[in-house]
């Protein structure tokens, strides 16, 4: 059976997930080959979508390109069902993944309010695990000096949401580094496309 190839270069995460969902919906019984660049966040989210849909995948790197080979579901054991005469409503595309989150301050609202810090920590604790990553920049680096905030960030990372720190925002290197340092060009590019939540 001919392999359907999907090239996902220079696309946002939500665009990629939409394209993968559409391809699987329109061609459910065809093998699918997804070609991706070196964007690890994009690869991670596409792989999570395929896992959630129960599709077997094999990842392979060909130079700068990552290839995901997606096998069609095995329908040999399923009993044949006649096609309904009435056209079924189109299946809903999977909900797009939430965008990454950039925190630029250590509390919500007025700096003098303790409630603002508690609300920000509550937001971190309730964050959707589908958020690709959280980056701390500018005033948000104060959270690293608060044991309660640090614990909330470490718990968030343990739940599968990477926590990163803006390189430009650091006054000095973190010792020992608790979180990955992020090049600011990565989040600036996303912010310029409106593909980033900024608080």
Q: Is residue 22 part of a domain?
A: yes
Q: Is residue 91 part of a domain?
A: no
Q: Do residues 162 and 113 both lie within one domain?
A: yes
Q: Is residue 124 part of a domain?
A: yes
Q: Do residues 17 and 65 both lie within one domain?
A: yes
CATH number at residue 23: 3.30.1370.110
Q: Do residues 33 and 107 both lie within one domain?
A: no
Residue 60 to residues 36, 40, 67, 102, Cα–Cα distance (Å): 10, 13, 5, 31
Q: Is residue 93 part of a domain?
A: no
Q: Do residues 180 and 133 both lie within one domain?
A: yes
Q: Do residues 187 and 110 both lie within one domain?
A: yes
Q: Is residue 47 part of a domain?
A: yes
Q: Is residue 75 part of a domain?
A: no
Rounded mean pLDDT for each run of 10 residues along the chain, 199 residues in total:
82 84 85 84 83 84 84 61 52 74 86 79 89 91 90 89 89 69 90 90
pTM, 2 dp: 0.52
Q: Do residues 27 and 111 both lie within one domain?
A: no
Among residues 50, 70, 90, which one ends one of the domains?
A: 70
User: Which H or E run includes 58?
Assistant: strand 57-62
Q: Do residues 113 and 159 both lie within one domain?
A: yes
Q: Do residues 57 and 131 both lie within one domain?
A: no
The alpha helices in 127-180, defined as continuous H runs, are 147-158
Domain that holds residue 157: 101-198
pLDDT of residue 135: 93
Q: Is residue 181 part of a domain?
A: yes
Complete edge-to-edge strand list for the sheet that includes strand 134-136: 180-182, 163-166, 134-136, 101-103, 197-198
Q: HSE of 176 in the Cβ direction (CA atoms, 13 Å)?
A: 1
Counting the structural domains of the chain, the total is 2
Among residues 70, 89, 113, which one ends one of the domains?
A: 70
Q: Is residue 89 part of a domain?
A: no
């Amino acid at each position: 059976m001919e392999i359907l190839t999907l090239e996902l270069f220079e696309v946002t995460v939500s665009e990629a997930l939409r394209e993968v969902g559409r391809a699987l919906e329109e061609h459910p019984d065809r093998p699918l080959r997804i070609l991706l660049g070196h964007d690890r966040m994009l690869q991670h989210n596409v792989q999570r979508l395929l896992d959630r849909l129960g599709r077997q995948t094999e990842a392979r790197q060909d130079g700068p390109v990552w290839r995901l080979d997606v096998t069609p579901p095995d329908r040999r054991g399923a009993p044949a069902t006649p096609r309904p005469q009435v056209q079924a409503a189109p299946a809903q595309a999977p909900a797009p993944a939430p965008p990454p989150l950039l925190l630029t301050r250590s509390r919500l609202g007025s700096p003098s309010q303790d409630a603002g810090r508690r609300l920000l920590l509550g937001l971190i604790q309730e964050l959707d695990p589908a958020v690709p990553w959280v980056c701390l920049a500018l005033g948000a680096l104060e959270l690293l000096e608060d044991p309660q905030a640090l614990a909330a960030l470490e718990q968030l990372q343990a739940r599968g949401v990477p926590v990163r720190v803006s390189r430009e925002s650091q006054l000095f290197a973190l010792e020992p580094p608790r979180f990955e340092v992020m090049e600011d060009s990565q989040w600036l590019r996303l912010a310029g496309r409106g593909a980033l939540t900024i608080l």
